[in-house]
Amino acid sequence: DAGVTQSPTHLIKTRGQQVTLRCSPKSGHDTVSWYQQALGQGPQFIFQYYEEEERQRGNFPDRFSGHQFPNYSSELNVNALLLGDSALYLCASSAGIVFRVEQYFGPGTRLTVT
Amino acid sequence: GIQVEQSPPDLILQEGANSTLRCNFSDSVNNLQWFHQNPWGQLINLFYIPSGTKQNGRLSATTVATERYSLLYISSSQTTDSGVYFCAVERDAGGTSYGKLTFGQGTILTVHP
C-alpha cells in the first residue's frame, strides 16, 4: 500500500523565481492538503483540495496556488519566491472531507530560497 | 483560530525512563492526532485520538475532549524515540474546517543511552 509521496525531495531556488511541488496521495484517498513548516515551528495549513477544487485556505498570500488532478494528485505553486518561503513543504492526504478522518503525511519537500 | 499548546517544549531522558507529553487546546475539536517527526522531516502517525484512550506498544495516549487536553505517554524510552512530537487538532467549526489541522509547537525529546 503506497503512502503519500512528494517530489522533489530538495529544491534550491532564487528570489523572484517560481516553484512547483508535487504530491500523490495515499491509495484510496481523494483529499490533499498542503502545509508549510518553517524551521523550529509546527506545520501551518496552506490549503486543501477535494474534487479538484480548493476547499479551505489558510493565511497565505495569493502567491501560493494549487491544483488537483483527476487522479487526486496535487501541485503546489509558489510565485515570486521570497527568502521567507524557505521551509519544509508537507503534503497530507485523507479520505473525503467529512469529519473524523485521519490524515497521513508525505516525506516533504525542503525548499531553500537564496 | 484555535490555539494548541504543548508542554514541555524540551525533554531530556535517559534510556528506560518514562515520560508524559501534554497538549492543551482552546476550543472544541473533531479530531486530534499525535505525530513523531523524524530527523528527515517525516511526520509519522502515532495516534488518531479525538477522545478516549489508546495504546500501541510502549506508547499510549489519552484525550479528554471535554477538558480540552490530550496526553501522550512513552514508557521505557529508547534512543530511537528521540525527535519532535507534535499534537495537531481539527477545530469543530460546524463543517467548515474538516481536514484543517492546527499544530502545536512540538516537544523536542532527546533520549540518551
> Parallel, antiparallel, or unpaired for β B43-48 and B19-25?
unpaired
Task: Tell me if residue B66 falls in helix, strand or coil.
Answer: helix
Tell whether the model's pLDDT for residue A105 goes beyond 80: yes
Q: A25-57 burial, b if ≥16 CB within 10 A, otherwise e?
A: bbeebbbbbbbbbeeeebbbbbbbbbeeeebbe
Tell whether the model's pLDDT for residue B105 goes beyond 90: yes
> Which residues have CB under 8 Å from A40's CB, separation 6+?
none
**Is the Cβ–Cβ distance between B68 and B24 less than 8 Å?**
yes
Whose cell is 499525535? That residue is B34
Cβ-Cβ contacts under 8 Å, A35 against chain B: 101
Greater confidence (B99 vs B31) lies with B31
DSSP at A26 = P
pLDDT category, B98, cuts 50, 70, 90?
Answer: confident
**Is the Cβ–Cβ distance between A103 and B99 less than 8 Å?**
yes
CA pair distance B112, B15, nearest whole angstrom:
6
Q: What is the pLDDT of residues A54-73, one digit of tens each?
A: 999 999 999 999 999 999 99
Tell whether the model's pLDDT for residue B95 goes beyond 70: no
Cβ-Cβ contacts under 8 Å, A50 against chain B: 99
Residue A46's alpha-carbon distances to A34, A69, B7, B43, in angstroms, are 5, 18, 25, 17
Task: Tell me if residue A105 falls in helix, strand or coil.
Answer: strand
Tell me the average pLDDT across A44-60.
95
Mean residue pLDDT across chain B: 95
Q: Which of A58, A104, A110 sits opposite B45 (nearest CB)?
A: A104
How many helices and strands, by DSSP H and E, does chain B display?
A: 0, 11
A6/B contact by beta carbon, under 8 A: no
Give the model's pLDDT for residue B88.
Answer: 98
pLDDT category, A99, cuts 50, 70, 90?
Answer: low
DSSP at B67 = G
Tell me the average pLDDT across A37-65.
96
Cβ-Cβ contacts under 8 Å, B10 against chain A: none
- The burial of B86, by beta-carbon neighbours within 10 Å (0-12 exposed, 13-18 middle, 19 or more buried), is given as buried
Tell whether the model's pLDDT for residue B97 goes beyond 70: no
A101/B contact by beta carbon, under 8 A: yes
